[in-house]
Amino acid sequence: MPARTAARILDGEARGALQRARSYLPEQLIDAVEKSGLRGRGGAGYPLADKLRAVRRNADGRQPYVVANGYDADPGSPLARTLLARNAATALRGIAIAAHAVDAKEAFVYLHPGATEARAAVERAIADHQDELGIAIEVALGPGGFMGGEESALLAVLESRRAMARQRPPYPASQGLNLRPTLVSSIETLAWLPLVVEEQVRASTKLVSVTGAVSHPGVYEVALGTSLGDIVSEAGGTTAKLKGLHVGGPTGGILNATRSDTRFDFDDLRVAGTHMGSAQVRAIPVGTCIVNEAAKLFAYLARESCAICVPCRVGTKRVQGILEGMYSGLGRDSDLPWLDELGDHMERFSLCGFGITAPSILRTTMREFPDDYRIHIQDMRCPEGSCTPVRSRRYETMAQP
Amino acid sequence: MSLLERYTQPSESQIPTVAHVGEIPSGQPTCTIWIDGKEVTAVVGESILRAAQRAGFEVPTLCDDEKLAPAAACRMCLVEIEGYHRPMPSCHLPVQPGMVITQASDSLFKLRRQNLEYILSDHNAYCMPPCQVGCPTHIDIPGYLELMAKGQHVEAARLVKEVLPFPYMLGLVCPKPCQEVCRRGLVEEEIAICQCHGYTGEMVMEMDQAPTPFPQLPATGKRVAVVGAGPAGLTCAYYAALKGHAVTVFDMMEKQGGICRYGIPEYRLPKVKLDKELNSVWQLRDTEFKGGMTLGRDFSIDDLFTQGYDAVFLGIGCWRSNDLPIPGIDLPGVIEAINYLRMNAEGNPVPVGKGQKVVVVGGGFTTFDCARTSRRLGAEVTVVYRRSRREMGAHYSEVDDAEHEGIRLEFFASPVKIVEKNGRVGGIEFQRMALGEPDASGRRRPVPVEGSNFTIECDTVIPAIGQLPDLDFFEKEPSVRKTKRETIVTNGALMTDRPGVFAGGDVQMGARTVIECVAQGKLAAKAIDRYLAGDDMARVAEEIAQEEAVPELIDIVPYKPEEPQVRMPMLPFPDRVQSFQVIENGYDKAAAEKEAAQPLPPSGTCRLPRLRVRLQPRLHPSGPQQVHQLHPVRPNLPGRHRCELLRAHGRRIRRDRDDAMERLAQVHRLRLVRGVRGDVPDGRADDARARSADVRAGRDSVHLLRRLRRGLPARCTRRDLELRALDVRPLRPHRSRERGARRRAVVEAIGRDPARRTQLSAPAGDPTTGSAPLGRMTV
Ligand SMILES: Cc1cc2nc3c(=O)[nH]c(=O)nc-3n(C[C@H](O)[C@H](O)[C@H](O)COP(=O)(O)OP(=O)(O)OC[C@H]3O[C@@H](n4cnc5c(N)ncnc54)[C@H](O)[C@@H]3O)c2cc1C
Ligand SMILES: Cc1cc2nc3c(=O)[nH]c(=O)nc-3n(C[C@H](O)[C@H](O)[C@H](O)COP(=O)(O)O)c2cc1C
Ligand code: SF4
Ligand code: SF4
Ligand code: FES
């Protein structure tokens, strides 16, 4: 996949970084990371330096672990796969540097079971660079499915349990794998470390997966802060007039196409009502019914929810049902405030990022595409003429208020 | 140390917690936190929830248990903590010195309510069996059936007597609300719950000393006066005495039993056996019966307090028949129903005999008792009711039986006047009724059809259209209020406006059923006990409301192959004319055990109903048009085909459940290896244990909780919903009636078939020795 911007982590080498990092004291190393402004690329954008410090502080004589999350939970966003297939050595160096910063001797590269190419590349790189890396790095495969990438579910998998989230605190940085302090970071985050150490650069780009109605869908490396419109142009421009931009993967919100000047950055996306998530930007062409899109997303989420907590386990199912009812011509005016209430509840009461972020789909679509909802509910027809009813009755086990 | 770590310590190195020693163990470091503005001392390392509970806050929880590592799964216990930008589960978060916590607020209430709505609306099973919910006393039905199936009848009786002291009596007269909701009824026929406990009661009746649910407590020195020796009064007396109070029961009649003795005729309830069962009350220490004492004539409530009684229970029932306001009601030949039954029960002559023509007006228990009594006295009887068979208050089996005994039924007719002939009753004129618009209760109101009058010739009319309490003496008791319907007003703890005076049974509810009266007697005994201990009665009322809250859950699909109910051997219809012999001949041992061994629904104590009361979810049961439905409605499948589907679905449910168990076992493995405090058995063993009766007696046990938890993550697949959509229906109260119609058809078929008719009249065996010919009614 061609990367057209000033590419950094996709092909930066930084061969001497590991040696140089080892010449620093861990504290110095962490200061350098802080200076680079490196924030977690896994979606939440938590500063890596803070995480490293927390792991060190909690280690208290125990041996921490490093887990590099290269899972690519969102099937539409193969960022880690692309990175590892292209530049596994740099990523592994990054892991070794992080291990040095927290005094870890064991690390895992955690991959999707379907990522065969990336897995081969990592195994090859581990074999080639064994001596240089100096720590034990093991490849671990997740179970498949969306929740496999969530950090606490990932730890459960490494402990041979089902990929089910766990309440935090305690965070992995204090009680992670086998209850030992664990650094869980996206492989993309860690791949920055060699560049940060060797070239003292600021971590200013982000991998993004552009999909949907664009000429050249694929993974690109763009500067953080690039506008969504420019990202779409990067992928060869659109193949049709756009109706919306779905940003952040399955739990991300859908922005109106008129908002293509929104900057692609952790904070700006949050202000816009969505989030970085899996860094997928999906171009939705006109002629797509947004209610239907939202329903499809919730159908996916309902299937993928790890189901430990009530708001998400039942909530996603319920929202899916309401949305399906709506596009099957069974909507009621009262469904909109009801969705608001369910969304608010899911966001406030869910256990992990999955349920907390999922309502952004409702928030953004109801705000930016009110007509789609209104026409479905009041005129009982699809604004785009594309929905086929899937329900003949409203989804209710018990009648709601 | 975090909570997670604590739960993975080997049990010997666990820190002793408050739960272990009952108070903050000495030497435990404590800290101060603030909950809802109140300063609370907490043990360092314990959960916020535990600290809050100890300080008297009632944080709602479902998945929390002291013995389990916190799962933070149900999300009911979330609280707001200063410094956290979202609510956090209090069961999972250890206290930190100086934490400022809000555990109750409007927004938390709303969020928790939404959460509970989710849980309830997605709850595709009962955690309390519907039969247990259905029985007003909430007998542990699966529990005693299981004991019976094992042949442990005394244990079974003790379990039943925890809530129902008179299982034999109820086995004969109860209208069986429990069986109407039996889940086996969804596939074939409900379990004969009623006959089963009747059998148990009959078994233990022969013992010198009737078994009690628990040993009578030591004497408390308090005295309770019970007025009325009907089911309500005697139940109250029984439990109050078991609690150690001295009890005196007063009654205006010479003998005990109330309506069950003086109303329900001998052929339904033999009085010798009734006495044997009721005598279990007098076997208890400090109990006494004083017959022939009428409240309001021989003594007043004040007298009782003067005589040193500490509490009074009024269970004086409904002994006055409702008036039938039509012309001619004063003519000779019109008989007062209750009086008639009473005189017959006392062995006095009654004005009904061979060859007379009797019309009984009404559709309740009394109607049919009068009608069938008259039939047995040789009269020709017609029962006239203004609505249809469905609406009749009497149990469908009684209506069927009456018909088979040769009583004529006339529906949709309302009496207009009594026709005079030679100065006495000569007939009664009726007007036809049709069903009109539904009234407030949802029942369609009968409206008269003009010009449809007709007359039935007769010489005796018995109006039996309900009873009222006889509260004339109330003029002298200004401190106790009565309603417009002449019933006594009480609060939720069954206490009247006068402290220490309680009321229950028909006199509080209006004429109802024996089992509802027993249930009230039991609650009243509990309330009296708490009153005598000086507890706050408002709180007792609230507790009772929480315990009695009925979960409204949808039907789940059953999974067992068909297995016909073991029929009660009955006295053949032809033998019933002119005979007061008991018609239900009793189960024998094998029959009872066979019936009881039918597969059982799960049991347990669930916190959901309580939370329902507290959080008032806005859900209400949906009509059938509102259930899950993913695809256009399918045409109704033919019966057999549908059963196949249901069965396949049953297998699915089981498989899903096993999967869920497997997953749980996996989750637990980690803890198992490292040794959690207490033993965590693997999922299956655990399940078996949870089913055992001891655990159930232990109620809120950790095993049941774990089962609840395990239930939570089981996913519902599309296919499940689809299948379920085929048969989901809300509980239908009249289901048994419909089934009654089915049975009627079968019985009629037998009646026509001479071969089977001989079978029908085969001699009844001895109920206690197990020789009864069982095949007779198994159709
Ligand atoms: C004919 C008939 C048949 C029935 N059949 C059934 C049936 O098959 N199944 C069923 O579930 N329900 C049936 N019922 C209803 C059921 O019998 C009553 O709901 C139940 O018996 C009421 O119980 P209780 O304890 O409240 O009152 P009762 O049983 O009425 O007892 C009240 C007692 O108080 C005494 N008493 C009354 N006034 C005074 C006073 N002033 N001073 C002192 N003592 C007083 C009476 O002598 C009596 O012993 C039937 C009712 C009738 C009338
Ligand atoms: C449902 C869900 C799926 C996730 N999937 C991934 C993933 O595939 N890869 C990833 O790096 N982070 C994923 N995350 C984020 C991780 O939980 C975690 O925050 C991240 O690995 C931490 O790394 P970072 O600090 O480098 O961002 C996911 C989170 C959620 C809630
Ligand atoms: S929010 Fe959803 S995915 Fe996350 S823990 Fe709860 S059920 Fe699992
Ligand atoms: S007393 Fe009546 S309702 Fe209760 S279990 Fe027996 S038959 Fe069922
Ligand atoms: S989440 Fe705390 S009790 Fe269930």
Least confident piece of the model among A5-19, B95-109, B280-294, B627-641: B627-641
Domain ranges of chain A: 17-198, 205-285, 299-379
pLDDT in tens, B73-83: 999 999 999 99
Secondary structure (3-state) at B543: helix
Q: Which long-range contacts (CB under 8 A, 24 or more apart) does B623-626 make?
A: B623/A399, B623/B730, B624/B728, B624/B729, B624/B730, B625/A393, B626/A393, B626/A394, B626/A396, B626/A399
Residue B777 has pLDDT above 50, yes or no: no
Q: Looking at the structure, tell me whether residues B229 and B270 fall in a common domain.
A: yes
pTM to 2 decimal places? 0.61
Quick one: which of A264, A261, A315, A323 has its CA closest to A289? A323
Q: What residue ranges in B258-350 does DSSP mark as E strands?
A: 287-290, 311-314, 320-321
Q: Tell me the shortest Cα–Cα distance from B117 to chain A, in angstroms.
A: 9
Place of tokens 């929390």: B64
Contact A310 B74 (CB under 8 A): yes
Q: Looking at the structure, tell me whether residues B129 and B98 fall in a common domain.
A: no
CB B448 within 8 A of CB B432: yes
Q: Looking at the structure, tell me whether residues B647 and B672 fall in a common domain.
A: yes
Query: Which ligand 1 atom sits nearest the alpha carbon of residue B258?
Result: 49
Q: What is the mean pLDDT of residues B559-573?
A: 51
Contact B114 A342 (CB under 8 A): yes
Ligand 3 within 6 A of A355 CB? Answer: yes
Q: What is the pLDDT at residue A313?
A: 92
Q: What is the mean pLDDT of residues B387-410?
A: 89
Return the higher-pLDDT residue of B745 and B733.
B745
Q: Which long-range contacts (CB under 8 A, 24 or more apart) does B742-747 make?
A: B743/B400, B744/B400, B746/B779, B747/B400, B747/B404, B747/B779
Residue B54 has pLDDT above 80, yes or no: yes
Q: What is the pLDDT at residue B551?
A: 58
State the Cα angle at A39 between A34 and A44, rounded to 5°: 145
Q: How many CA atoms lie within 13 A of A207 on its CB side?
A: 32
Secondary structure (3-state) at B208: coil
Please list the residues that pair with B295 across neighbouring strands.
Answer: B299
- pLDDT confidence tier of residue B253, bands split at 50, 70 and 90: very high
Domain stops at, among B75, B94, B121: B121
Nearest CA to ligand 2 atom 18: A151
Give me the interface pTM, i.e. the ipTM: 0.86
Domain stops at, among B465, B484, B508: B465
Nearest CA to ligand 2 atom 22: A185
Which amino acid, residue B493?
A
Total count of domains within chain B: 6
For A368, the enclosing helix (H) or strand (E) is helix A359-368
Which 533-592 residues of chain B touch chain A by CB within 8 A? 552, 554
Q: What is the pLDDT at residue B578?
A: 65
What secondary structure letter does DSSP report for B638?
A: P
CATH code matching the domain that covers A299-379, chosen among 3.40.50.1000, 1.20.1440.230, 1.10.645.10, 3.40.1350.10:
1.20.1440.230
Place of tokens 């993550």: B713
C-alpha of B776 from chain center:
30
Q: What is the pLDDT at residue B419?
A: 93
CATH number of the domain encompassing residue B441: 3.50.50.60
Q: What residue ranges in B305-379 does DSSP mark as E strands?
A: 311-314, 320-321, 357-361
Q: What is the mean pLDDT of residues B359-373?
A: 94
- The Cα–Cα gap between A357 and A149 comes to 15
- The Cα–Cα gap between A150 and A163 comes to 8
Quick one: which of B233, B225, B237, B291 has its CA closest to B259? B233
Which amino acid, residue B4?
L
CA B729, B731, B732, B734: dihedral to nearest 10 degrees? 150
Q: Looking at the structure, tell me whether residues B725 and B741 fall in a common domain.
A: no
Q: What is the mean pLDDT of residues B183-197?
A: 80
Q: What is the mean pLDDT of residues B759-771?
A: 40
Secondary structure (3-state) at B358: strand
- The Cα–Cα gap between A11 and A25 comes to 27
Give yes or no for B102 touching A (CB within 8 A): no
Residue B78, CA distances (Å) to B64, B175, B705 in order: 12, 44, 19
Nearest CA to ligand 1 atom 30: B317
- pLDDT confidence tier of residue B477, bands split at 50, 70 and 90: confident
pLDDT in tens, B111-143: 998 888 887 776 655 556 778 888 999 898 888
Q: Tokens for B442, please give them.
A: 């949802």
Q: Tokens for A378, please give them.
A: 């009041």
- The Cα–Cα gap between A30 and B740 comes to 80
Q: What is the mean pLDDT of residues B227-248?
A: 96
Residue B64, CA distances (Å) to A173, B19, B318, B627 in order: 25, 13, 47, 31
What secondary structure letter does DSSP report for B311?
A: E
Q: Looking at the structure, tell me whether residues B372 and B393 fall in a common domain.
A: yes
Q: What is the pLDDT at residue B567?
A: 55
- pLDDT confidence tier of residue B633, bands split at 50, 70 and 90: very low
Q: In this structure, which ligand is nearest to the CA of B177?
A: 4
Please list the residues that pair with A39 across neighbouring strands.
Answer: A47
* Residue B59 domain flag: yes
- pLDDT confidence tier of residue B520, bands split at 50, 70 and 90: very high
Q: What is the mean pLDDT of residues B236-244?
A: 95
* Residue B710 domain flag: yes
Place of tokens 């802080």: A34
Q: In this structure, which ligand is nearest to the CA of B468?
A: 1
Secondary structure (3-state) at A44: coil
Place of tokens 């159908």: A299
- Residue among B114, B126, B722 with most chain A CBs within 10 A, to mutate: B114
CATH code matching the domain that covers A205-285, chosen among 3.10.20.600, 3.90.1150.10, 2.40.128.20, 3.40.50.880:
3.10.20.600
Residue B674 has pLDDT above 90, yes or no: no
Query: Which ligand 1 atom sits nearest the alpha carbon of residue B297?
Result: 41
Q: Looking at the structure, tell me whether residues B48 and B101 fall in a common domain.
A: yes
Quick one: which of A351, A71, A373, A31 has its CA closest to B70? A351
Please list the residues that pair with B454 across neighbouring strands.
Answer: B430
Q: What is the pLDDT at residue B4?
A: 61
Q: What is the pLDDT at residue A302?
A: 93
* Residue B630 domain flag: no
Residue B681, CA distances (Å) to B5, B266, B671, B678, B685 in order: 20, 53, 11, 9, 6
Least confident piece of the model among A5-19, B264-278, B740-754: B740-754
- The Cα–Cα gap between B225 and B311 comes to 6
Least confident piece of the model among B175-184, B513-522, B757-766: B757-766
Q: What is the pLDDT at residue B634?
A: 31
| Residues of chain A found within 8 Å of residue B91, distances taken between Cβ atoms | none
CB B490 within 8 A of CB B503: yes
User: To test ligand 3's pocket by mutation, which of A146, A150, A300, A312 has the most ligand atoms within 8 angstroms of CB?
Assistant: A312
Q: Looking at the structure, tell me whether residues B525 and B542 fall in a common domain.
A: no
What secondary structure letter does DSSP report for B770?
A: T
Architecture of domain A17-198: 3-Layer(aba) Sandwich (3.40)
H helix and E strand count, chain A:
15, 10
Please list the residues that pair with B250 across neighbouring strands.
Answer: B227, B290
Residues with pLDDT less than 70, chain A:
1-7, 393, 395-401
Q: Tell me the shortest Cα–Cα distance from A178 to chain B, in angstroms.
A: 10
Sheet harboring B78-81: ordered strands across?
A: B38-43, B30-35, B100-102, B78-81, B88-89
CB A46 within 8 A of CB A69: no
Q: What is the pLDDT at residue B687?
A: 38
Q: What is the pLDDT at residue B728?
A: 32
- Count of CB atoms within 10 A of residue B300's CB? 14
Residue B346 has pLDDT above 70, yes or no: yes
What secondary structure letter does DSSP report for B14?
A: S
- The Cα–Cα gap between A291 and A42 comes to 28
Domain stops at, among B98, B121, B144: B121
- The Cα–Cα gap between B187 and B558 comes to 7
Query: Which ligand 4 atom sits nearest the alpha carbon of residue B135?
Result: 3
A79-102 and A116-133 helices, crossing angle to 10°:
30
Place of tokens 């205006």: B252
Q: Looking at the structure, tell me whether residues B97 and B57 fall in a common domain.
A: yes
Tell me the average pLDDT of chain B.
76
Residue B566 has pLDDT above 80, yes or no: no
Q: Looking at the structure, tell me whether residues B427 and B481 fall in a common domain.
A: no
Task: Please state the φ and ψ torsions of residue A93, each to the nearest 5 degrees.
Answer: -60, -40
* Residue B190 domain flag: yes
* Residue B632 domain flag: no
Q: What is the pLDDT at residue B152?
A: 84
Q: What is the pLDDT at residue B247?
A: 97
Quick one: which of A278, A275, A376, A285 has its CA closest to A323? A376
CB B430 within 8 A of CB B324: no
* Residue B629 domain flag: no
Q: Tokens for B655, please give them.
A: 């498989």
Q: Looking at the structure, tell me whether residues B428 and B389 fall in a common domain.
A: yes
Task: Please state the φ and ψ torsions of residue A226, each to the nearest 5 degrees.
Answer: -60, 145
Contact A401 B92 (CB under 8 A): no
| Host domain of residue B683 | 637-730
User: What are the residues whose beta carbons fall under 8 Å from the beta carbon of B448, sequence distance 6 or more?
Assistant: B414, B431, B432, B433
| Strand pairing report for B444-448 and B287-290 | unpaired
Q: Tell me the shortest Cα–Cα distance from A362 to chain B, in angstroms.
A: 17
Q: In this structure, which ligand is nearest to the CA of B736?
A: 4
Quick one: which of B43, B149, B146 has its CA closest to B96? B43
Quick one: which of A366, A378, A372 has its CA closest to A287? A372
State the Cα angle at B98 between B92 and B104, rounded to 5°: 60
Q: Looking at the structure, tell me whether residues B713 and B696 fall in a common domain.
A: yes
CB B284 within 8 A of CB B238: yes
- The Cα–Cα gap between A331 and A374 comes to 10
Q: Looking at the structure, tell me whether residues B353 and B426 fall in a common domain.
A: yes
